[in-house]
Structure 1
Amino acid sequence: MKSKYAVYVRVSTDRDEQVSSVENQIDICRNWLERNGYEWDENAIYKDHGISGTLFLERPAIQLLLEKAKKKEMDMVVFKSISRLARDLKDSLEIRETFIAHNVRIISIEEGYDSNKAGKNDMAFELWSLFAAQYSRTLSAGITAALAAKVRRGEHVGRIPYGYDREEGFLKINQEEAKVVRQIFDWYLNGWGYKRITLELNQLNIKPKNKSKWQVTSVQRMIQNPIYCGDFILNQYTTIKVGGRKKQIRNPKEKWLIFKDHHMPIISREQWEAANYEKKSKVKSTAWNDLRGIIKCSECGSHMVIVQSCKKLANGEKKHYYYLKCSAYRRAAKAGCVNHHPITYEDIRAFIISQLKEKGQSISFHFVSELESKKRIKMSQLQKQKAQLEEKKKDLLDVYLDKLIGKQEFELKRNELDHRMEQIEVELVSLNKREYVQKRIHNIQQAFAALENEQQDLLQVFKTLLNQVEVHPDGTIDLSYSFQGDFS
C-alpha cells in the first residue's frame, strides 16, 4: 500500500536515548507500517534529536510536519508513543488538532491510538497526553532532588565557574585563574568600575573560561557570585516555557537553597561582602526609549541602548545628555563592537519623526474602499475557474474510461488539475482574509496621525511604521519601513 506518511522520532537527552533510541523508535514504526501493508520509505523519517518534548517551537522536525500537513503533502504520521510527540498537554493537543484539521491520520503505536477510529471527543488521547506531561514534571522534581543531594555531599553541579576546575564532582581551585579572580576583586574594591576592569583584562590578553573576550556582564556576575567566598546556591533560577520556548527566570530568595562553606573559597567572605555592600546612592534615571527593540547597530546587529552623561553648566546647573551606544560595545568595548559617532537620542528620534512625516505625505489611502469590489470580482473569477476545472476532471475520467488515454497520462493530467485547484483554494482563502489588509492600512493611517503629537510615547507608532532602524558608526541612519510606496 502506498501512502504519503511520515515517521516522527524524538529523543531529548542521552538518558532518554538509552530507553528510547532513535533506532528503536524507527524499528517499531517500520514494523507497524509493514504489518499494515505499507511500503517502507527511509525518506519519510523526521527526527528531533536532543530537544525536549516540552519545547514546541524549537523542534524543527515537528514544525516541518505541521507545515506539510497544512499543504496536504502527507496523509498520515506515525510515532512510537505520545510522549515522543510532546510532553506538554497543551502542545500535544494543539499538534493533534492541527493534524486532524488537515485530514492527517495519527498513529501512536505504544498506546494503540488511531485517529481514524477515535471520535472527535477523544478523551483517551487527552489522558495519555496528561500522563506524558505529568511524567515530565515528576522527572524534573526527581532530578532537582538528586542535584540537591549531590550538593549536600559537597559536589558541584552546573557550569564550572572561572577560577575553579572540577575533579571527580568536586570543585578544586585553579591557581592561575584564582589569581585573576583576586585581582578583579582588588580592582573593584579600589574603586574600579566594571567597564574599566573589562578593558584591563582584555588589554592584558587574559582569556575567560568559555569565551574569547571578557564582557562587562561577566565581570559583574563574577563579583556578585557568592561561589567565590565558598557558598553555593541551588534553585536560584527556574526554567519556564513562554510561547513554546524556554525562558530562565530568577526565583524569589526564599526559594533558594544556600549551602554555606560548600567548597574552598578564593576570596574571604569579608572581601565578598565589602564588594557587594549595597550603597544607598541615588539611582540614575534612564530616558524612556520609545525606539527600543527597533533601533540596531549596523555593524553587529545588537540593540542600540541609551547611556546617560551629565555636564555642569557655568551657572551651576546640571544638564543631562542621552546618547545611543551599541549594547555590544557598551558591554565589552572594542572587543564587542565599534564606538559609534556620538548621536543623542533626542536627535535621532526627531530625525525619524521628520522622515516618517515626509513619507506620510506621499501615501494615499483612498483605494481602501475599492478593495471590496475588486475582491468580489476576483473571487467570482476564481469560483468560475474552479467549476471549469471540476468539469475538466469529469471529462478526463470519461476519456480514460473510454480507453482513449492510458493510466499514466490520466494520473498526470489529473494531478495537474488537482494542483491548480489547490492553488485556487489558497487564493480564495487569502482573499477571505483581506480584511487584515484593510485593518493594517487603517492602523498605519492612525499611526501617521499620531505623529503629530511628538511629546507622547510613540513606541507603538514606530513599531507600526518601521521594521528596523540601523545606525552606522559615522552616525548615518537607514530606515526600513513596514509599508510600501503609496499603497497603489
Structure 2
Amino acid sequence: MKKVTKIAQNKTNLTEQTKLRVAAYCRVSTDSDEQLESLDAQIKHYESYVNANPEWEFAGLYYDEGISGTKKEKRPELLRMIADCEDRKIDLIVTKSISRFARNTTDCLELVRKLLDLDVFIFFEKENINTGSMESELMLSILSGLAESESVSISENNKWSIKRRFQNGTYKISYPPYGYDNVDGEMVINKSQAKIVRFIFAEILSGKGTHKIANELNRRKVPTKKGGRWTSTTIRGMVSNEKYTGDVIFQKTYTDEYFNRHNNNGEKDQYLIRNHHEPIISHEDFETAQDIIDQRAKEKGLEKQNTKYQNRYSFSGKITCGQCGGTFKRRSHSSGRHRIAWCCSTHIANIKKCSMKYVPESAIEYAFVTMMNKLIFGHAVVLKPLLVSLRGMSSDETLENIRALDKKLEENTEQRNVLVGLMTKGYLEPAVYNKSNNELLQEAERLRRQKESITRFLNNDFQNLSEVSALLQYATKASMLTGFDGELFKRYVEKVLVYSREEIGFELKCGITLKERLVR
C-alpha cells in the first residue's frame, strides 16, 4: 500500500502581502537658500507620498544638497542608497525626474541596469516611467539624453553669465583664500589670519622652505582655513596666489564638456582686475617670493605645469615598497658609507607604519647591471621562449573568439528586435516580454564584458610582445655592461619593487619581473 503523508494547511493570512520597501531620492544642485527650501518641500512630499500608499513601507529618504548632478561619484547619498539596494533593504525607488536622478546618459543607464539586476525598480514621477514595467530602454535612453543636454545647456548658460561678470568686474568671490572673509560679497581682511599670511611670506623671503614653514605652523597648532594641517603644497599655493596683493585673476580654472575641471594654461581667456580689494602683501614682496620659489624649483630640477620630477633621477617615482606600497624618495646622508640612498616615504613619515629601511642607490644600480648582464648572456634561454609564448597567445584563435562573441551579440540584438515586434503587434504579453528582454539584456552585457576582457588581454599581449622583441634585439647585439646606464633603465624598466634590504625585483615593461640580490 502506498504511503500518503498529509501536508498541513497554511493557516497564515494569505491576504497579508509583503509590503514594498520604498525609498525616495531627491537632489538640489546648489546650496542657495531657495534651493534648500525646495529640498525641504521635496522631503515632506515624499514622506507623505510613500506613507499614503498602504502597500508601501517607507525605507528612507536619501538626498544630496549643494551638489551637481552631472556625475554620480559626486553624490554620496545616491551611492549610499545603491549600497542599501545591494544589501536588499530597498525594493522600489521614487524620484522626481530623470534629471534629478542623473543628468548623464551613461550614468543613468548604468544605474538603472545595475538596480534591475538587484530586482530594484525606479519610478520617475515627471516622466511616469517605471523601470519594472517599461517595454525597453529606448525611452529612458532618449529622456536621459535630453536631461544630459539640458544639463549642458544650463552649464553653458552659467558659464556665459560668469564670463560676463568676469568681463565687467562684478563677479563675487564667495570663498576667498586664507586671510580674507566674505562680508556682503566683498573680500575683507581677517586680521588674525593675515598675520599668518605675512609670516609665511616673511619666512619664504628669509630663505626657509615650504616644508619647514608648514611644520612650524603645525607645531604652533595654527589651523588652516578648513581646520586641517598645513602642508608644503598649501604653502606653495598661498605664495603663488595673486589675491594677497589686492589683485585678482578670474578663470584660472575651467570645466570641459565632460564636466572635468582643469587648470587654465592659456586654453581660455583670463581677466585681471587690479586693486580689487585691500592687499595683505606688497607687489614687491610677492614678486620676490615667486622668484625664490622658481629658483628653488630650477635647482631641484622641477618645472611648473609638468610632471613633478622631470627626469631628475633615473629612479624617481619608480621604486615601490614591497611592505607598505609606498613610493621611495631619494635621501642624501651627510656622513657614512652610503651617501645617496632611497627610503620609503611611509617610513620617513611614520616608522611605526613601515619598518623598511633605506636602500643604497649604488646597490640598486649594481643589481640592475647584474640583471641586464644576465639577460644579455642568457637571452636565448630567457627572452626567446617568452617571445614564442606571447606569439602563441596572440594567435588567430584569440581573434576568432572575438569574432564569435561579435556574432553572438548580433544574434542577441536580432532576438530583442523580434521581441519588440511581437510586443508591438500584441502577440506577446508584457510580463513575458519583460522577462525575456531582461534575460537577453543580461546576456548581452555578459558577452560585452567577455569581449572587453579578451580585447584588453590581447592588447596587453601585443604591447608585451613588442617590448620583449625590443629587449631581445638589444640583448642579442649588446656587450656586457660595466656600469649603470640611466637611459637604458628608463627604456626597459617599469618599476622597482623592494622586497627587503637584501632583495629587489625589476618589473620590466615587457611584463616579467626579475629578482636580484642587493650587494651593499
TM-score interval for Structure 1 and Structure 2 normalised by the shorter chain: 0.5 to 0.7
- The answer to whether the 8 Å contact 1:57/1:63 transfers is yes
- What is the aligned partner in structure 2 of residue 54 from structure 1? 70
Conservation of the 8 A alpha-carbon contact between 1:223 and 1:272: yes
1:26 is the counterpart of 2:46: yes
1:295 corresponds to: 320
- Are residues 1:137 and 2:155 paired? yes
Evaluate the alpha carbon distance shift between residue 236 and residue 477 of structure 1 in structure 2; reply closer, same or farther with a 3 A threshold: farther
1:265 aligned counterpart, secondary structure: coil
Identity fraction in percent: 21
Change over 3 Å in CA distance of 1:26–1:216 after alignment to 2: same
Cα 1:160–1:221 shift into 2, 3 Å: closer
What is the rounded CA distance, in whole Å, between the counterparts of 2:25 and 2:103 in structure 1?
13
Amino acid at match of 1:26: Y
- CA–CA distance in 1 between the matches of 2:503 and 2:66? 42
- 1-side partners of 2:457 and 2:123: how far apart? 42
Who is 1:276 aligned against?
290
Question: Which residue in the other structure is 1:261 paired with?
Answer: 275
Q: After superposition, what is the alpha-carbon deviation per residue over 1:130-188, rounded to whole angstroms, capped at 9, x for unaligned?
A: 354236515743773697599637x5422431x33444443333444434433433343
Name the CA distance, whole Å, in 1 between partners of 2:118 and 2:368. 45
Q: Can you list the C-alpha shifts for 1:414-459, whole angstroms capped at 9, x where unaligned? A: xxxxxxxxxxx9xx99x97996998799799979999988975679
Residues 31 and 65 in structure 2, CA contact (< 8 A), matched pair in contact too: no
Alpha-carbon distance change, 139 to 353 in structure 1, aligned in 2, over 3 angstroms: farther
Q: Answer whether contact 2:21 2:91 (CA < 8 A) is retained.
A: yes
* Equivalent in 158, 174, 198 of residue 175 of structure 2: 158
Kindly tell me: are residues 54 and 189 of structure 1, through their superposed partners in 2, closer, same or farther at Cα, counting changes over 3 Å? same
**Aligned CA distance change for structure 1 residues 147 and 61 (closer, same or farther; 3 Å):** same
Equivalent position of 1:382 in the other structure: none
- The aligned runs of 1:422-461 (5 Å cut-off) are none
Within 1, Cα distance between the matches of 2:182 and 2:492?
A: 49
- Provide the secondary structure at the position in 2 that maps to 1:185: helix
- Rounded to whole Å, the distance in 1 between the matches of 2:173 and 2:359 is 47
Q: Which of 300, 311, 319 is the aligned partner of 1:286?
A: 311
Q: TM-score, normalised by structure 2?
A: 0.55
The match for 1:82 is 98
Deviations 1:38-80 (A, max 9, x none): 7212226555565431122344554566678899997754322
Match of 2:55 in 1: 39
Quote the Cα distance in structure 1 between the aligned partners of 2:116 and 2:499. Answer: 47
Paired residue secondary structure (2:239): helix
Give a deviation string over 1:269-318, Cα, whole Å, max 9, x none. Answer: 1221232246696772534667848725968x7643457x699xxxxxxx
| TM-score, scaled relative to structure 1 | 0.58
Asked if structure 1 preserves the Cα contact closer than 8 Å seen for 2:103 and 2:144, the reply is no
2:11 corresponds to: none
Report the 3-state secondary structure (helix = DSSP H, G, I; strand = E; otherwise coil) of the residue aligned with 1:43.
strand
Q: Which residue number corresponds to residue 107 of structure 1?
A: 123
1:217 aligns with 2:233: yes
Cα distance in 1 between the residues matched to 2:161 and 2:300? 40
Amino acid at match of 1:265: P
Q: Unpaired runs of 5+ in structure 1?
A: 312-320, 373-424, 484-488
Counterpart residue identity of residue 129, structure 1: A
Task: Say which SS state the counterpart of residue 59 (structure 2) adopts.
Answer: helix
SS in 2 for 1:172: strand
| Structure 2 unaligned regions, length at least 5 | 1-16, 302-309, 375-381, 398-442, 475-484, 513-520
| Contact preservation (8 Å) 1:75, 1:105 | yes
Shift in CA distance, 138/101, structure 1 to aligned 2, threshold 3 Å: farther
Read off the aligned partner of 2:148 and give its amino acid letter. L
In 2, Cα distance between equivalents of 1:354 and 1:211: 51
Matches within 5 A, 1:196-207: 196-201=212-217
Which amino acid in structure 1 is aligned with residue 230 of structure 2?
A: W
- Match of 1:304, as an amino acid? F
The structural deviation recorded for 1:109 is 0.6
Paired residues of 1:55 and 1:241 also in contact (CA < 8 A): no
Deviation at 1:228, TM superposition (A): 1.6
In 1, are the aligned partners of 2:176 and 2:182 still within 8 Å (CA)?
no
Contact 2:43-2:61 at 8 Å conserved across structures: no
2:231 is matched by which residue type in structure 1?
Answer: Q
- Number of aligned residues: 406
**CA distance in 2 between partners of 1:477 and 1:42 (Å):** 59
> Amino acid of the residue matched to residue 239 of structure 2?
I
Instruction: Please say which of residues 79-88 and 94-103 is displaced more in the overlay.
Output: 94-103
Tell whether the 8 Å contact from 2:341 to 2:360 is kept in structure 1 after alignment: yes
C-alpha change, 1:72 and 1:456, in structure 2 (3 Å) is farther
